[in-house]
Structure 1
Amino acid sequence: MTYDPASANPLKGNALETRADMQRALIDLFNPLLPYFSEGNARVRLDAAAAHFDRAAADLEGFARPLWGLAPFAAGGGQFAHWDRYAQGIANGTDPDHPEYWGAVNGRDQRMVELAALGFALALVPEKIWDPLSPAARDGLVAYLIHARQFDYADNNWKFFRILVDIALDRLGVEYDRSLTHAYLAELEGFYIADGWYRDGNVRRIDHYIPFAMHFYGLIYARLVDDDYAERYRERALLFAQDFRRWFAEDGAALPFGRSLTYRFACAGFWSALAFADLEALPWGEIKGLCLRHLRWWADKPMTDRDGVLSIGYGYPNLLMSENYNSAGSPYWAFKAFLPLAVGEDHPFWTSAETPLAQGDAPVAFRHPGMVMMPCKGDVVALSSGQENRQMRFGSEKYAKFAYSTRYGFSVESDERAFAGGAFDSMLAFSDDGIHYRVREGNEEARLAGTMLFSRWSPWPDVVVETWLIPSPPWHIRVHRITTPRPLETAEGGFAIARRDFEADSLSAAAGSAHAIGAVDFSGIRDLGSTVIRQGLVQKAPPNTNLIVAKTLVPQLHATIPAGETILRSAVVALRDTSFDDWSRPPAAPGIDELRALAEDGETVSAMKAPVRMP
């Protein structure tokens, strides 16, 4: 018998169906942190890996982030045995003369992020972490918060961090300059698009930060403050819930898309915040099901280290997919999912029976994020065009692939000089030397016509690609019109599925097609009449590149295209069906003239209306 990595998951064996189950889950997830508290309890250091900020800020992150769950737990009557550690840690961390001092806050400092959790806890359960402090420690804490809030916060969801601190100061009766609060509330309005959707700043980026940051903080505000902004946040959440539920599969999986996915079940934070704000945006049984099914989805994933501490990664420990701002304490933003513990057991969130996800079978288009959500036999595929992130590592993989899947996740590339061995799942890669490669990083234009997406992009300044994405469940169709002044090698990938040991999977590759059959999954890509002959290949992708499973297979089509114009057409499918009977009957691709006419009639994707930001 060998070690099972999933056995260290503190959620393993928890039914996650009741309030008591969720309370137990929180404490089980927190307890592995206890050995890593410092002597003075102000810092939690979990490993030696670094983020771009200093070690003191990383230690504060490990200390503060569990408060997103612990504070609601206590507010709802839960008994937590270690509030004395937090009170002592706050006193020492804000004392410049103590060796565990968190360090002075400076402009756009990571400490600003973590103080939001502290502000939230102070507002919700001051009896746990304020009342026990000595007068001198209270003065030190207030001075630390007042000092921090004078600096400029990043031009995105960070602006809520000052607001959460200010709510705490209000509740503690502290005098401060409220004009700064009002300024940030007004500036956050500039990120709102329409129909419940925000941008995470003035960027072409509409990702999970909208539910687990913009709406999450807005709903906390709506619960704790009574003003026009609170009403506005509630109205927007009502709208957003109708769309966001389509980012979840029947088994609770959320769509892996964008940055900061190491926060894992923070993706349920929006549903949790609806309970906290007592806002029935959907029937309570559906909200409860969306929240708890998502937590259950994580219960069998090897997402922790051997001691039960959440790892950096997604489905398993994986530094490769991380951001440069991820320290070892970062994953504990996941505790945002525990916000329903603040409401009593008689709340309809808890008394309602879970109801199944009401998705329907038809694709649904969302103009603001530039996505077409396509239910696929219990899973969800999102066709995507219009977003980008050129500032962060693997921004192309996290934002610019053609399709994302709740079941198959996505892959990041591990070697920019390995065109022949790249995963390229849901991407079209080009190479002019057979070594280096280019993929879609952003779009010069992105339009939505019904449920068809069109984009125009350039892997090099002198190469233009027009791409159409068309849903045909469980398939989707891709058509690319490429104009290049020189020959280029190309590789286009389907979805990545889990690869077994001992070459137990069935692989098939021929001219114009490739597919792989794993233990329970089928993934394939078929050419639909391109102007060049493409050769199929099943790529054994480099290990630890996919977010959900560590070893994968990706069906691909390869061809060298000539100078001039080339049309590539393909149909792509992946699903839980190892005997997929319709593999030989793919859908037909529309003609180029029809596609161009549709694109002309389409609406510009809202994400494109933000300015381009180059590295």
Structure 2
Amino acid sequence: MIRIASPVLENGANGTLKKNMPVEGPEREKRIKVSHLEAVGRTLSGIAPWLELSGLQGDEALLQSNARQQARSTIISITDRNSPDFLPFDVGAQSLVDAALIALAILRAPQSLWLELPEANKKNIIEALLSSRKITPVFNNWLLFSAIIEALFCKAGITYDSMRIEYAFRQMLQWYVGDGHYSDGPVFHADYYNSYVIHPFLLATLNATSHTRKWNSLVPLQLKRSQRYCELLERSISPEGAMPAMGRSLSYRCGNLHALGDLALAGQLPSSLPPEQVRCAMTSVIKRTLGAENTFDKHGWLNIGFCGQQPSLAEFYITTGSLYWSTLAFLPLGISPESTFWSNPDVQFTSQKLYSGIDIPLDKADDE
């Protein structure tokens, strides 16, 4: 996690992100204005739980303290109009995605990324997030990006637009197709967006607005659906730590573990998935996708690819900043080191058990 995040945080804290971050991709010239915000929003939302974790000791505590300072300096810099790294949150539709990820990061680390900031800087962040309201979300998972920004305002006691939240919830309910999967728009897509966005953002939005009690009745239903989806996600991991290379945004690499890490972080994994089993499964994928040769360039920035450097995997919207979605696999680093997630011995995960000839309970579809 530190290896991935360091170039973003170090340059973000020093006001040199625009100067030093490479921007590569098939439509570089069209998307260069949003790539830096992508890198920041994705990095912060992935490392936020670890930034917020208390009680770390030794070298890790020193790393955490340094990262907290850099993260705060970065979020201050990108929302300060006088900074060389000022990043507008309303330049192109893509800005809405990463404005939402900034909101998600703050929800995951309110002490580190919000409460400890000076009031003037909080005001800058609010203005930046408000500016993204002019962007009309695409009619798919993007509805949740608008919703989570309003959920942050709700959580922070700021005037918010409840209709953006209500609309996202109502539409997602209509798009549920069964067995833990949402169609992500009117037509189902076989990709990882149920993990990249849908399940984690639905739960985060519900949690952030729970004090209003407006949508609390949806929580048990959504948790059940997320748990079923994560059962299937864990089963898709091969004994060697490979996952099916299907659908769009494969260059997010192990970011497709977002939903699984989110439930692990919350302590809400289904009973069928012991925490230590999820740890071993996720670790295998992280090593497989981020340990490949040429994953990083000579300056430590991520290269485009699913397993190494594979620029042909980049959709039109992919640039260097997009790749930092991979940090969302590191949410479990926000779990206490004393928890069973970390302290229990290694075990085989589902596919390893099955391909070793071990008899395990059968899988059963959710008949909801």
Distance 2:22 2:352 in 1: 45
Q: Determine the C-alpha separation between the residues in 2 that align with 1:119 and 1:224.
A: 11
Matches within 5 A, 1:473-484: none
Give the one of 242, 247, 256 matched to 1:253: 242
Output the CA distance in 2 between the equivalents of 1:139 and 1:357: 46
In structure 2, how many angstroms separate the alpha carbons of the residues matched to 1:340 and 1:67? 14
What's the secondary structure of 1:81's corresponding residue? helix
Q: Which residue of 2 aligns with 1:298?
A: 289
Q: Higher relative contact order by CA 8 Å / sep ≥ 6: 1 or 2?
A: 2
Q: Residue 61 in 1 paired to residue 38 in 2?
A: yes
**Match of residue 278 from structure 2:** 287
Distance 2:102 2:191 in 1: 25
Residue 40 of structure 1 pairs with residue 31 of structure 2? no
Write out aligned runs for 1:567-606 (5 A).
none
Does residue 333 (structure 1) correspond to residue 310 (structure 2)? The answer is no
* CA distance in 2: counterparts of 1:256 and 1:80, whole angstroms: 37
Segments of structure 1 that go 5 or more residues without pairing to the other structure are 1-25, 363-374, 378-615
8 A Cα contact 2:47 2:328, kept in partner: no
Distance in 2 between residues matched to 1:283 and 1:89, nearest whole Å:
36
Displacement of 1:114 after TM fit? 0.8
Q: Distance in 1 between matches of 2:206 and 2:338?
A: 21
Q: Distance in 2 between matches of 1:155 and 1:90?
A: 29
C-alpha deviation, 1:72, in angstroms: 1.0
- Contact 1:42 1:63 (C-alpha < 8 Å) held by counterparts: no
Equivalent residue for 2:48? 71
CA drift at 1:198: 1.3
Deviation at 1:249, TM superposition (A): 0.4
State yes or no: 1:113 paired with 2:102: no
Q: Give how far 1:262 is off.
A: 0.7
RMSD after superposition: 2.9
The correspondence for 2:5, drawn from 26, 30, 43, is 30
**For 2:233 and 2:34, how far apart are their aligned partners in 1?**
33
How many positions carry a matched residue from both structures?
A: 340
Shift of 1:260: 0.6
Equivalent residue of 2:320, what SS? Answer: coil
Deviation at 1:280, TM superposition (A): 2.5
Q: Does 1:194 align with 2:183?
A: no
Quote how far apart the aligned CAs of 1:232 are. 1.8
SS of 1:66 mapped into structure 2 = helix
Q: Distance in 2 between matches of 1:105 and 1:92?
A: 16
Tell me which amino acid in the other structure corresponds to 1:90. I
Deviation of 1:274 (Å): 1.5
Distance 1:334 1:267, change over 3 A: same
1:101 partner amino acid: F
8 Å Cα contact 1:216-1:270 kept in structure 2: yes
SS in 1 for 2:177: strand
Deviations 1:157-207 (A, max 9, x none): 222212222232223221122222111121222221011111122234121
The 1:173/1:298 distance shift into structure 2, 3 A limit, reads same
Q: CA deviation at 1:73?
A: 0.7
Partner of 2:364: none
Alignment match, 1:144 = 128
CA, structure 1 residues 343+206, in 2 after alignment: closer, same or farther (shift >3 Å)? Answer: same
Distance 1:140 1:299 in 2: 35
**Which has more helix, going by share of residues?**
2
**What is the identity, as a one-letter code, of the residue corresponding to 2:230?**
A
Considering only CA atoms, is the larger Rg found in Structure 1 or Structure 2?
Answer: 1
Q: SS of 2:137's equivalent? A: coil
Aligned counterparts, 1:153-172, within 5 A: 153-172=137-156
Instruction: Answer whether contact 1:222 1:277 (CA < 8 A) is retained.
Output: no
Q: Deviations over 1:237-265 (max 9, x none)?
A: 22223333332101211111111111111
Helix, strand or coil for the counterpart of 1:127? helix
**TM-score (ref. length: structure 1):** 0.51
In the other structure, the counterpart of 1:238 is 227
1:164-563 alignment to 2 at 5 Å? Answer: 164-221=148-205, 224-226=208-210, 227-281=216-270, 282-284=272-274, 285-298=276-289, 300-302=291-293, 303-359=295-351
Q: Distance in 1 between matches of 2:110 and 2:288?
A: 33
- Tell me: CA distance 1:132–1:44, structure 2 relative to 1, closer, same or farther (3 Å): farther
* Distance in 2 of aligned mates of 1:244 and 1:344: 24
Shift in Å, 1:354 = 3.2
Counterpart residue number, 1:567: none
Cα distance in 2, alignment partners of residues 289 and 348 from structure 1: 12
Paired residues of 1:43 and 1:62 also in contact (CA < 8 A): no
Do the aligned partners of 1:271 and 1:288 also contact (CA within 8 Å) in 2?
A: no
Structure with more of its chain in strand, by fraction: 1
Indicate the SS of the match to 2:115: coil
Contact map agreement 2:256 2:329 (CA 8 A) in 1: yes
| Partner Cα separation in structure 1 for residue 135 and residue 110 of structure 2 | 25
Q: Which amino acid aligns with 1:63?
A: V
> What is the identity, as a one-letter code, of the residue corresponding to 1:58?
S
Indicate how the Cα distance of structure 1 residues 330 and 44 shifts in structure 2: closer, same or farther if over 3 A, else same: farther
Query: Conserved in 2, the CA contact under 8 Å of 1:92 and 1:100?
Result: yes
Identity of aligned residues (%): 22
Q: Matches of 2:278 and 2:222 in 1, distance apart?
A: 18
Deviations 1:191-228 (A, max 9, x none): 21011111122234121112222123234345545412
CA pair 84-234 structure 1, distance change in 2 beyond 3 A: same
Partner amino acid for 1:298? T
Distance in 2 of aligned mates of 1:352 and 1:159:
39
Distance 1:42 1:33, change over 3 A: closer
Q: Is the 8 A contact 1:61 1:114 kept in 2?
A: yes
CA distances 1:126-167 after superposition (whole Å, capped 9, x unpaired):
332323433333222212212313532111222221222223
Give, as a single letter, the amino acid of the residue that structure 2 aligns with 1:251: E
Do residues 90 (structure 1) and 75 (structure 2) align? yes
Report what 1:485 is aligned to. none
Distance in 1 between residues matched to 2:350 and 2:78, nearest whole Å:
47
